[in-house]
Structure 1
Amino acid sequence: MQQKDLLEILPEVEAYTINNLMPAIAKGGFISDEERIEVAEKMSLYSGLNKTSIIDHNLNVPTNFFWKELLRDKGFTIGRLDSRYLGIDKMAAGDSPDYNAELTSWLHSFTPAINYYIREELNFKTDIKYNMFGDVHPWDRQNDNTRDGLRQAMAQNPYLKVLVQSGYYDGATTYFAAKYTVGQMDPSGRMKDRVKFKGYRSGHMMYLRKEDLKLATDDIRQFIKDSDSKGKSARY
């Protein structure tokens, strides 16, 4: 499995998730022992987790546990926003990492730089610190109809198009969750030609990888060009 390229294996994993894993989880306690073991073995092959831990979670493995468990035997955790970053916890035991390995790296890299730029280059003097990351909890998700609102806007404007850009190593806002959400936005499929998805071999901040910085920028430019209505009125 590890001999295959990432882009070669992803379609296979996506198909298995939709056609096999999700129906298996939906069966709950009525799934047969044979199917439970079969699904756990396949998940183990794809994810790198051991079969027993997957079965112990009833096939529905929490993300926190995955970040903690994947490299537990090597003494590392993996990053939440970018799984290419590694962390070291106080104890190997537990169900979630002590900290976000990628975030500590980003805060040490970018926070001093942006604060210096604001004060010294832009000459904006303030005693307020520019925070790269802050406590936004508790989030108010009441009346959160973003997906339906976007579908309505696209239905009303035939020239409204959507580009979704995601990093494959982002474990917080995962690329597949984005694809699934967009797919459920318009179950009829009548607007699917107006939605494009672009994935990159990076994490949440996909532009940190130089190749993806250029590729993502080129993709945005092309998307803008393709979205030009050529002066036509917004009607079907």
Structure 2
Amino acid sequence: MRFLSCLSTLAVAFAAVPAHAAGEKAPDAAPADAPAPPPIVSVTKHKGVFGGQAVAYTATTGETYLKDKDGKPLAAIFATAYVRDGADPKSRPVTFLYNGGPGSGSLWLHMGAFGPKRVVLPDAQDDGAPPYPVVDNPESLLDVTDIVFIDPVGTGFARAIGKKEAKDYWGVSADAKSIAEFIRTWLNDNGRWSSPKYIGGESYGTTRSVALINELEGQYNDVAINGIILVSAILDFGAPAEVPGNEMPYILNVPSMATTAWYHRKIANPPATVAEIAAQARAFAIGPYAAALLKGNALTAEERASVRTELARLTGLSEQFVDNANLRVSPGRFYKELLRDRGLAIGRLDTRYTGVDYDRAGETPDNDPSFYGIDAAYTTAINSYLRDDLKLKIDRDYVTIGGVRDWDWKLAGQRGRDGEVYVNVAPYLSKALRENSGLKVFVGQGWYDFATPFFGAEYAMNRPGFDPARIQFHYYDAGHMMYVRPEDLRKLSADVRAFIRSR
């Protein structure tokens, strides 16, 4: 379930986590009952051109306290809000964005996709060493919406305060409750209750979005939402769980294996487009392949041979390898085997990326080249930008990723032992669609993403109770963080901009 302990990744109001182990107190920390200092906040004025429009805006970056019933701070959420100057708050949309992990700060969407500035990655598949240019981002959405990038407790500069512990916020439902409280506080403080509202995230941030809408709309004092933006979606954690006896991961991964093999030219007589190979793989995966896996030992030799041949063709692997794997190729083996003849392993977050392992004969890669190829640039960019451009004065380390542990995967009210809990927030989304006729959903998936495969996202939202007419799927020629590819950054920006404008 910790499928994104290395990211966002793959997808956006105010505090901090210490440099020592998350959840522990620094040796010289103030007593738990000591009064909290005022929130750290910086406000600056800026101008930019976004979506072809000149926009003057105010950036507010810093902490927002979550408080108990007596007004005592319990936690500080960290956020950066960009609000267009002079706009009508009743008609101007506001979008709340965050990344995933769980445990990732919002730097990826902030500095890579939708913020007013972005970090420029080198053309090579390795970000190398600094400097990393931070430039104007004309693809930011500030022409159509105000944006609030949120770092939950344990990420970025967000932290627990006083007697509260960070781990109290580390769970699917607890995390969603804290972000819902932050959003309500932000709406109160900024007079934005009448604004059209969007929430969105990347990777585990999509899980958070759906758990969050349950917190925002699942009670009588609703915060009604106009749209949800899901970038690299993962809603159902049970279907892709790699545990003995579960056949669904193999079915859901075949289309991503096929698109990856197509990209690396490992398919004989390939179709002209990646969409075509994806369509072939979907039909095979949900048809003959699923039937073969479900038959188990009842599968005939002739059926096995037919499925083995097509599976090998679509994945770019040898029939012998597929047969040795009993028709069930795990992602880790696929990353290592596909380009073994070239001495390369492929990435997980983005299978276009390749790396050279210490042991080329090993079964799984040493690391994910699609993550270590970008992480330094983003970490450098967010620290430099917040402190220099936005004038934030703070003496804590920004927790890029990995700031949380022992995540509670049980949903509120869910029973059972940890190892027996089936985590699936998709029913929250179908319920929200049924009970809010104005709600619509944007789903963006990369063809080359194995952290959150596109067929898994389609499967989760193709169940009874969903209204397909209000769910938009968009696909990109990259991986988990499709915006690292400039062409797909432009496409993603245009697609989300059109989604917001179409309300």
> TM-score when scaled to structure 2?
0.43
Give the corresponding residue for 2:317.
Answer: 49
Is 2:493 the counterpart of 1:225?
no
Structure 1 pair 135/29, CA: closer, same or farther in 2 (3 Å)? Answer: farther
Gaps of 5+ in 1: 229-236
Shift of 1:88: 1.1
What is the CA deviation profile of residues 79-134 of structure 1, one whole-angstrom value per residue up to 9, with x for unaligned ones? 00001111111112232111010111111222112222222222323343324332
Tell me if structure 1 keeps the 8 A contact 2:271–2:277.
no
Which residue, out of 27, 30, 35, partners 2:295? 27
Structure 1 pair 122/18, CA: closer, same or farther in 2 (3 Å)? Answer: same
Query: 2:460 is aligned with what amino acid?
Result: T
Q: Secondary structure at the match of 2:475?
A: strand
Q: Secondary structure at the match of 2:291?
A: helix
Q: Secondary structure at the match of 1:166?
A: strand
Give the corresponding residue for 2:361.
Answer: 93
Find the aligned partners of 2:403 and 2:339 in 1 and give their Cα distance.
28
CA-based RMSD of the aligned residues comes to: 1.8
Shift of 1:138: 4.5
Find the aligned partners of 2:397 and 2:304 in 1 and give their Cα distance.
51
Is 2:430 the counterpart of 1:162?
no
Give the corresponding residue for 1:6.
Answer: 274
Find the aligned partners of 1:105 and 1:138 in 2 and give their Cα distance.
27
Deviation larger for 107-116 or 146-155: 107-116
Structure 1 pair 19/66, CA: closer, same or farther in 2 (3 Å)? Answer: same
Gaps of 5+ in 2: 1-268, 412-422
Give the corresponding residue for 2:472.
Answer: 196
Give the corresponding residue for 2:227.
Answer: none
Shift of 1:146: 1.0
Query: 1:65 is aligned with what amino acid?
Result: R
Give the corresponding residue for 1:175.
Answer: 454
Q: Secondary structure at the match of 1:199?
A: strand
Residues 43-82 of structure 1 mapped to structure 2, 5 A cutoff: 43-82=311-350
What is the CA deviation profile of residues 8-63 of structure 1, one whole-angstrom value per residue up to 9, with x for unaligned ones? 22212111111111111111122112211211111111111111221222212111
Deviation larger for 212-221 or 76-85: 212-221
Shift of 1:77: 0.3
Shift of 1:3: 5.2
Q: Secondary structure at the match of 2:387?
A: helix
Find the aligned partners of 1:113 and 1:224 in 2 and give their Cα distance.
27
Shift of 1:156: 1.1
Find the aligned partners of 1:125 and 1:100 in 2 and give their Cα distance.
34
Find the aligned partners of 2:349 and 2:308 in 1 and give their Cα distance.
25
Structure 1 pair 133/51, CA: closer, same or farther in 2 (3 Å)? Answer: farther
Find the aligned partners of 1:212 and 1:155 in 2 and give their Cα distance.
32
Give the corresponding residue for 1:233.
Answer: none
Shift of 1:137: 5.0
Shift of 1:165: 0.3
Find the aligned partners of 2:482 and 2:348 in 1 and give their Cα distance.
14
Structure 1 pair 225/117, CA: closer, same or farther in 2 (3 Å)? Answer: closer
Tell me if structure 1 keeps the 8 A contact 2:350–2:479.
yes
Find the aligned partners of 1:126 and 1:139 in 2 and give their Cα distance.
27
Which residue, out of 403, 408, 431, partners 1:152? 431
Find the aligned partners of 2:281 and 2:407 in 1 and give their Cα distance.
31
Identical-pair percentage: 37
Say which structure, 1 or 2, has more relative contact order (CA 8 Å, 6+ apart).
2
Which residue, out of 351, 370, 392, partners 1:102? 370
Which residue, out of 207, 212, 227, partners 2:483? 207
Task: Say which one has the larger Rg.
Answer: 2
Query: 1:194 is aligned with what amino acid?
Result: R
Find the aligned partners of 2:396 and 2:361 in 1 and give their Cα distance.
39
Structure 1 pair 218/118, CA: closer, same or farther in 2 (3 Å)? Answer: same
Shift of 1:151: 0.7
Residues 118-157 of structure 1 mapped to structure 2, 5 A cutoff: 118-134=386-402, 136=404, 138-143=406-411, 144-157=423-436
Q: From the two aligned structures, give the one with the greater strand fraction.
A: 2
Q: Secondary structure at the match of 2:445?
A: strand
Query: 1:195 is aligned with what amino acid?
Result: I
Deviation larger for 104-113 or 125-134: 125-134
Find the aligned partners of 1:153 and 1:66 in 2 and give their Cα distance.
37
Find the aligned partners of 1:167 and 1:58 in 2 and give their Cα distance.
28
Find the aligned partners of 2:328 and 2:403 in 1 and give their Cα distance.
28
Tell me if structure 1 keeps the 8 A contact 2:349–2:449.
yes
